[in-house]
Structure 1
């Protein structure tokens, strides 16, 4: 299932896998990759049977960041490049009804790290690193990386990492909540896919509503969040998923969710 040059796309049951596929450049983001990744994610998200999406990568790294070998388009500023070609993909990951699991087989650097950090869950190779080397070339993190780093590391640790152009090993990323799970490098993708299959068997409406609640809670008051939870609970209670779960519990059998 693919007419793409820079990504691989496949669907197995309720799980879609979208893999960055520029291994010779450590999956550096060029204009074609940005365009195809947006299209690929939109395509799988629109398929009714897809309940979880895995965002992985071919080769020994997740992504080395932006492709510095590609010249910007004539008249395009870096601000417009980020807002027009990166932010729409990251915003899509955030707004998709399906959970998105990042599968990180090796280094994630620069804006590549921003993509992994912005997914809902993640599996990282136990020998991989996250690299934030922007300050080494006089730049700042982008792709919303500072938003995620602040919330997981706290201000001082995040600023230290950014100011020093530093890196964190996989265990450190796990310990501070930047990633969710570690696995051997050659098992990262299969581990993420197996996890995705487990989540695909759960009530999709409940997962969708929980994702929305958590994404919004960071910028909302307690009262607003509690009200949003109440409204989401009403949606869940009225769904066929909830009725099926109750019936399955009474009949002592596994529930089969339709997502309605």
Structure 2
């Protein structure tokens, strides 16, 4: 698979959604910041320290299931909240309430601004499919199918493991490898025969923990060194750099 920039033993490709296929990572980061800043400002008053949409997002939130992202960031500030229930009203002082508020904000931004795909990724997917490799989308987002449909990209993937499927199957999210392992299993390949494509540090950790055959880090925000540290075999700024999209 040298024309795709992949080792010859790779027979399947597992793609993250936000930041790899779609330009939605920045939308998610902005929604997380708006939600957390409102919560922290009300809670801490004069001691308010805002959520950093770059460093805090990358370290504690990006790639994780929504509730895990809430818990992980709050723990970094020494804050603990009750989990509550998945249907808690948005903004309630529970893990799920804050997560639901973030989801409302991101959906509002997507409805207002739309969703764009990375053209280089779509061309790479064309090449991957033409080469006969199996493909899966692996995302923590519960809105994955709607996002793919909005950009006309659902047909690129044989398997979808997203937030909805993960909840149905009780699969832990990234940085655990379970969602990627489920995608490989559904595609009928061993992890050693699958390549993971991720932009999130948690996704790199998942690829390494799952012992996948190749892990591609996609650097959209200038974190190449961190992606390598967390397990990338190669880091590119755009998937066309691997060669298949040219």
- Give the alignment's TM-score, normalised by structure 1: 0.26
Computing the radius of gyration over CA atoms, which structure comes out larger, 1 or 2?
1
Higher relative contact order (CA 8 A, sep 6+): 2
Please state which structure has a larger fraction of its residues in strand. 1
- Give the alignment's TM-score, normalised by structure 2: 0.27
